[in-house]
Structure formats: structure tokens, C-alpha cells
Structure 1
């Protein structure tokens, strides 16, 4: 075997960003200095990854004016409300201040760009749809066409984006005192500000869907949308009074995981699990069984047990046909071949965390398919299971790896327990024999 090791490039520049989004749309790179948004992405199962619309510098860039004169940003202060909602206070060159919050509706395909000023001014939001890309491991830029049109429903501006395998639209509006100008390659959204006001930005499969979603957002109003997000985060927030810093870190990761390691397909409303929805991760937009089942899903369960059961079941059904292969596309097909025992065993570790319906034969058949694949790696001479790749994703120097067999041993206990609950005692006994023959016995012998 040629021991080819793949290594990601080192990050030479790591600028802090904020982020926002829901399961439909992600805003993974919000600039902390000017509250601009670099990109927007959504899940596309038909394209096996994420679709990203971005600008050369920023997709959405706010600028501030008073009596026609541009105001410079002097400094910024940032806060993450409940460790998730980005709040950026900008101090401007004339002494005025603007507080900006960016948040997505919990359920709809849209988000709010909220502004609150200390004085009367105008906000221009420059829209730069410069690049369209697929995110699958890397960012793959593709050719596309764009057109700005005026929708018939609200007479609002909309952006249509077309490419060879994807089409979608964005619709733009505001709470009040809204205007816009078409600049050919981009559009400028304009807002009068004296206190609170906001832009609404909706995304959907076409202009009708985007504009009707915009209508719904406007009917709800930004204050109600914010209240719903705020109360949801408040309810899910985990307190840890012994260590304030650890509490913030825990919840920051908890909510980022919930919204950026899971997505909802724009085309079918099917849920997917994935490595990350941020292009800053070097293998974003793909799927690892271990990463989701062992690391991500337990945190999802802390937030929503019912949703955890749903996403766990769906991902087992989707990915079990290629159990153990190093990396999958989000639709379950193989992206990066190479059997990893810990990846395959993770299905049975996940099983312990689920509320399994014993009448769910589709799920049980999928788990048995995983077990059959693992059994192909069984070595009767040693009672151990082989792996081609290590948990580090690199080729293994030896066929048997201790940590992989320990993970599998624990997983087989969970599978055996399921068979007992099903009254499948013969299968439970077969798995029990494998449990006794594998890690505990073999490694205790070695210890002796």
C-alpha cells in the first residue's frame, strides 16, 4: 500500500468573524469592523453540497450618510447575544452611533439586517453578487447569470441567479422608508434611519417564492422575529455558574453546531448533516459519520431531543449504504473512499443516544447493513476487526487498531441490546460472542 498522507494547508491569517443563520440559510462570515456580510449559502442535495453567493469583498456592505455626506466608521464593539446573535455597535466620524443586529427567522428562508441609530441618517446597503460557488470540501466557483427585477407583489427589487444546475432568487425590502437604485452589476438598498429600522432579505427557489417569503417576513415584523429567536435561544441556553467563560464557550459551540452542522435542503425540505456550513473549514459541505454521530449529534440532543431522533434516523438511512467510507457527499454517496472502522462503528454508538421505535424496520435494516459491512473486516484468527484508514484519516500501518476496536466493542453492546429489545435472541447471542472475542478478551490477554 502506498502510504499517501493528505494534509490541509496551514492557516496563515485568521480574522475573527461573527455568523448568523437558520437551517435554511447561513451567513458564515460577518465582518466585526463594519457589519458587512461576505457570503450567503444554502443546502442543495441535487448539487451534493452547499450553494454559496458571495462578493469579492462583501455580498452585503452597509454605508452611512447624513445630509448626503458619507460617514466613516471610527471603531466597532461586538457582542454575541446568547452566544449567537451578532450585535455590532459602530461609532461614526460625526459622533453618532449605529447598533446592528443580524438574525434569521427561526423557520423561514430569510433574515433581518436591523439598524438602530442615535441620530437621523441614511443607510445604504450595497449588494455585490460577484461569485457563485459550490462548497464541497473546497469552494468551486461556477459561471452564472444575474438579473435585478421588480416583483409584482410588493414592487420590491429582486435578484435572480441562474447557472447550469442551480437557480434561486433573493428579494429585498424594509420595515419602512425604503428605496433602492439599480447600479447594473449590483443594487443599492436605501433606508432612512431615526431609531430602529431594518432590511428584510428573503431567499427562495424563484422570484415568486422569494417575494412572497418577503411579504411574510414583513407581516411578522422584525421585532416579532427577533423576539422569537431571542426567546428560543434563552430557553435553550445552558447556564454554568462555576465558570462564566466556559459557559459562553459551551453555548457558542452549542448553537453554532445546531445551525452550522445541520441544514435543510432548499429544494426538498430534507434535513442533512454536514461537516460545516462555513467556507473557513477546509472540508466544508461534506459528511463524516464519526463527526456527526459522535461529536455533533450529542450536542443537538441537548437542545432538542425530538429533532435529534429525527436527524439521527434520517442520516442512518441515507448514509448506511456506504458505512465506513472516509467521507460522503451530503446525499450519502462516496466522496472519499477508504474504510475507517471508527466511522462505521459510530452508527452503533449513536444508537445508544436514540429513542428507537422497535417497529421501525427500515431503520433496523439499515443498521444491519452497517453490521454486515463491518463483519467483512473481521479476522477470526485474532477476533479483531481491520481498518484501512486511521481515525486521523491517514493510512494505517497495521491492520488492527486498538481505539477502533474499542469503539466497535462499545457499539456492538448497543446493537446487542437492541436485538434483545426486539426479542431477536439468536442475533443477540451472535453479537455477544463477537463482543467476548474482541477487545476485552484480546487486549486483556496482551496485558497479561
Structure 2
């Protein structure tokens, strides 16, 4: 086997962006220097991808005028209201101050560009709809036709966008005092603003749908759209008054995961799960089982339990036919082959949250189980993997964390079979789980420097590897119920890997988290999440989270060991879910349990 690593390119300098969106529409990149939007995307299950209107400069850009004189920005400050709504405090020439908010309707197919100024100004929103691409793993530019239309209902401008494989439309309007200019393929939206006013931009499958959605927005009004979203965010936020910095980090990551790791197909209204709807993430628009089942869904559950249960069931059914393959398209077909045991095992981690166990869901779970059983080794009682949690090839087939996750999964699945009266299957899974436990202690515990520790992986010939892959951090063993964190072997394990004896530990780094083969020079944000869930490392890890810049408060895959700024994996929505759920588990859920006792 050739050990070919597909490693991400390090970011030279990570630029801050804001973002907006709901499950239909994502706005992943809002420029913090001028409040312009650089891209807008929707889900296209037909194309197995996200469809994105984009431009390197801008897709929508506001300009400000007093009468006919253009007024430039002198200073701009950006912030998030209620941990999600993108806001800008803009200081213009002539002592004019404007507040800008960009937000999507909570449920409908459109978004709002809101402006607030107590001096009368005129705002032009320059529309630059010139480029279209599909986001699925990488970006794929596509040719398209653009047709400008005046809708009959409001006489509003609309644009129909079509290619050989897709078609959708956008409609444009304002709350009041709105007009537009269109010439030489250039659309400019105009608005007079004193106090508050807003542009509406709506999308749908065709011009009729986009324009009727625009009518709905005008009837509803931007103030009600804003209030509905604000009240929802207030209800859903997680309070942690002991530390407001942690509360901010937790909730910003929580909501980014909720809106950017989940999508709703405009054509079918089917929900999908994916790594990220932000093109800033280097493998956006695709599905990883680990990322969704282990990281994103536990955070989603904290926000909307009904959506979580629906998605859990739907995603198990859609993706189980290719359980364990490295990466899937959003429709469940294989994008990137290569078996990963932890990904296959991840289907079983939350199965007890399913509301019913009908034939379809049981068939899907049994299909996953059969795929996993192909990797069973009777002599060790362990299961093999081809790729690691970092998605890179494994030197030895039996990996500790993968088998630990599987053991937890087998225990969970056995309880389901007990509930539905299939005792024989339940007992078999319990025996398998116990066999894994025995196999791990027999083959994956070695004496290093006079102390027993868990090694990373081994084969049947006695070879083993000392390694700790951050997406599958060995510090997670207590989290999955495999061992008590006070156990000597576990304490020895953490002591070894977080020391100068281990090559991916940086003793002089500001944040002492582990790097790995996948990003050898930069500590891991995912490893930091694992440390939060590790009682031995928890307190230090939480201090590190407060110290880290990463993706300006959002989790990044890795970060610079000195500046703490993101170096790989920005716009990483499922990773944000991991950070949010880890903070909740460590600081709130477990604290609640302790108070009860």
C-alpha cells in the first residue's frame, strides 16, 4: 500500500468574514471592510452539490449617496448580534453613521439587507451576477444563461439563471422607496433611507416562485423577519453566565453548525447534512459520516431536537448503503473510496435517540453492521480500518480509537435490539463489544518507558505505532465510556503524548495541543475539542479555547502554534459543531449532573 497523504495547503493569512443564511440559502462570505457579499449558495441534490453565485470582488455591494454625491466609508466595525446576525457600524464621510444588518428569513428562501441611518441617504446595491459554480469537494465553474425579467405582480426586477443541469431565479425589491436600473447586463438596486429601510433578495426554482416569495417578504416586513430570527436565537442560545467569553464561543459555533452543516434542497425540500456550506472550507459541499454523526449532530440536538431526530433517521437511511467510505456526495453515493472504521461505527453512536425502529431503519443499521463485520479479525477480536480519522492511510490495521468507538456503538445497538425483543442479536453484540475490549487491552496496550499506555495502532505481528491522530484523539476514551479517566493506563497515555517524548507536541507553543501527519506544523482544533472532553486536559483546553484566534472565534482544523490564527480548515461547520458540543458536555451537561448528585 502506498501511503499517499492528501494534506491541506496552509493559509498564509486568514481574512475575517461574517456570514448569514438559513437552511435554504447560505451567504458564507461577507466582506468586513465594506459589508459586500461575495457569494450566495443553495443546495442542488440533482447536481450532488451546492450551487453558488460568486465573484472574487463581490456579488452584492452597497454604495452610499447624499443626493447625487457618493459618500465613502471612513471606518467600519463589525459584530454579531445574538451570536449569529451579521452587523456593521459604518462611519461615512460628512459625519453620517449607518448600521447594516444582513440576515436570512428563518424559514423562507430569501434574505434582507437592512440599513439604518438618521440622516437621509440614498443606497445603491450593485449586483454582480456573473459567475456560477458547483461546490462539491472542490469548486467547479459552470457556464450559464442569465435572463432579466420584470415580474408582473410588483414590477420588480428578477433574474432567471439556467444551465444544462440547473435552473433557479432571484427576485429583488425593497421595503419602500425602491427603484432599480438595468443596462448593459448591469443591475443596480436603489433605496432611499431615513431611519430604517431594506432590500429584499429572494430565490426559488423559477421567477414566479422568487417573485411571490418577494411579495411574502414585503407583506411580512423586514422588522418582523428580523424580530422572528432574533427571538429564535434568544430562545435557542445556551447560557453560561460564569464565563461570557465561553458563552460567546459556544453559541457562535453552535449556530454556525446549525445553519452551515445542514441544508435544504430547494427542489425537493429534502434535508441534507454536509461538512460545510462555506467554500472557505477546502472540502465543502460533501458528506463525512464522522463529522456529522459524531460532531455536528450532537450540537444540532442542542438547538432543535425535532430536526435532529428527523435528520438522524434520514441521513442513516440515505448514507448507510456506503457506510465507512471516506467521503460521500450529499445524496449518499461515494465521492472518495477507502474504508474508515470510525466512520462506519459512527452510525451506532446516537441510535438510541431514534423515535422508532421500523423495517427501513433496522435494515439500514444491519447493512452498516454487515459492512463492519467484513473487517473483523477473529484472532485479535479487533476490527480493521484502511484509513485513519484524519482520512490518511493507516500503517497498521487495528486502530485503538476506531475500535473504542465501535465498542460503544455495539453496546448502543445491543440496547436497541433488546428494546425490540431481538435478544439473540443483542447478546451477540454484547459479546462482540467485550471481545473488542479484551482485544484492545491485549494488543494495543504496550509498556513504554516503564509505563503501560494505549498505543495508536498495531498489526498481528507485534508491530505498533505511537501516534495520536487529533480527529480521533486518544483522550476521548473516557468520553466513549471505555475507561475511567483516573485509570493509570489512561493517565500514562495522556502524559506520554502531551510531552516532549512525542514528536507532534510543541512544548513552546502558546496552545499545547497536538499536530499530526495531516498538518505536521500546526496544532489541531479538533484535538483541542478532544481535550475538552478529556477530564485530565479539560481545564487547560478551555483556557486555550479562550486564547485561540482560530477562525475569529469559530473552530479551525488547525492553527499557528504562536499566533493561534487558523492555518487549515476555516469555514468548518461540522468542526464548529464539535467545539460547541464539547464545551456543552464539559461545562454544562456534566456540571448539571454533578449538581444533582
Q: Is the 8 A contact 2:312 2:354 kept in 1?
A: no
The 5-angstrom pairing of residues 9-48 of structure 1 reads 9-48=9-48
User: Residue 409 of structure 1 corresponds to which residue in structure 2?
Assistant: 407
Q: 2:435 aligns with which of 426, 434, 437?
A: 437
- Output the CA distance in 2 between the equivalents of 1:194 and 1:263: 36
Q: Please list every run of 5 or more consecutive structure 2 residues that lacks an aligned counterpart in the other structure.
A: 446-451, 453-597
Q: Is the 8 A contact 1:103 1:226 kept in 2?
A: yes
The 5-angstrom pairing of residues 92-241 of structure 1 reads 92-241=92-241
- Output the CA distance in 1 between the equivalents of 2:442 and 2:386: 24
User: Does the alignment pair 1:308 with 2:308?
Assistant: yes
**CA drift at 1:163:** 1.1
User: Does the alignment pair 1:357 with 2:356?
Assistant: yes
User: Does the alignment pair 1:325 with 2:322?
Assistant: no
User: Residue 270 of structure 2 corresponds to which residue in structure 1?
Assistant: 270
Corresponding residue SS for 1:296: helix
Corresponding residue SS for 2:94: coil
> Alpha-carbon deviations, 1:144-180, whole Å to 9, x = none?
1112211111100001111111111100010100010
- Output the CA distance in 2 between the equivalents of 1:61 and 1:349: 45
Computed over aligned residues only, the root mean square deviation of the Cα atoms, in angstroms, reads: 1.0
Q: 1:423 aligns with which of 421, 424, 436?
A: 421
Q: Is the 8 A contact 1:290 1:343 kept in 2?
A: yes
Which deviates the most, 252-261 or 111-120? 111-120
**CA drift at 1:139:** 1.2
- Output the CA distance in 2 between the equivalents of 1:301 and 1:397: 35
User: Residue 64 of structure 2 corresponds to which residue in structure 1?
Assistant: 64
Q: Please list every run of 5 or more consecutive structure 1 residues that lacks an aligned counterpart in the other structure.
A: none
**CA drift at 1:355:** 3.3
User: Residue 497 of structure 2 corresponds to which residue in structure 1?
Assistant: none
- Output the CA distance in 1 between the equivalents of 2:434 and 2:134: 47
**CA drift at 1:185:** 2.4
- Output the CA distance in 1 between the equivalents of 2:383 and 2:224: 55
User: Residue 81 of structure 1 corresponds to which residue in structure 2?
Assistant: 81
- Output the CA distance in 1 between the equivalents of 2:17 and 2:201: 20
User: Does the alignment pair 1:393 with 2:400?
Assistant: no
Corresponding residue SS for 1:37: coil
Using the size of structure 2 for normalisation, the TM-score is: 0.74
The 5-angstrom pairing of residues 234-253 of structure 1 reads 234-253=234-253
Q: Is the 8 A contact 2:43 2:266 kept in 1?
A: yes
> Alpha-carbon deviations, 1:350-399, whole Å to 9, x = none?
214x13313x2211110111000000100111111010001111011111
- Output the CA distance in 2 between the equivalents of 1:55 and 1:130: 7
Corresponding residue SS for 1:176: coil
Corresponding residue SS for 2:119: coil
**CA drift at 1:183:** 2.7
Which deviates the most, 62-71 or 177-186? 177-186
Q: Is the 8 A contact 1:56 1:130 kept in 2?
A: no
Q: Is the 8 A contact 1:293 1:347 kept in 2?
A: yes
Using the size of structure 1 for normalisation, the TM-score is: 0.98
How many matched pairs?
445
Q: Is the 8 A contact 2:62 2:124 kept in 1?
A: yes
Which deviates the most, 180-189 or 285-294? 180-189
**CA drift at 1:118:** 2.4
> Alpha-carbon deviations, 1:45-77, whole Å to 9, x = none?
000010000123100000000120000000111
Q: Is the 8 A contact 2:276 2:285 kept in 1?
A: yes
**CA drift at 1:290:** 0.3
Corresponding residue SS for 1:381: coil
- Output the CA distance in 2 between the equivalents of 1:186 and 1:295: 43
- Output the CA distance in 2 between the equivalents of 1:445 and 1:366: 32
- Output the CA distance in 2 between the equivalents of 1:260 and 1:186: 30
- Output the CA distance in 2 between the equivalents of 1:28 and 1:309: 26
**CA drift at 1:312:** 0.5
Q: Is the 8 A contact 1:202 1:210 kept in 2?
A: yes
- Output the CA distance in 1 between the equivalents of 2:430 and 2:234: 45
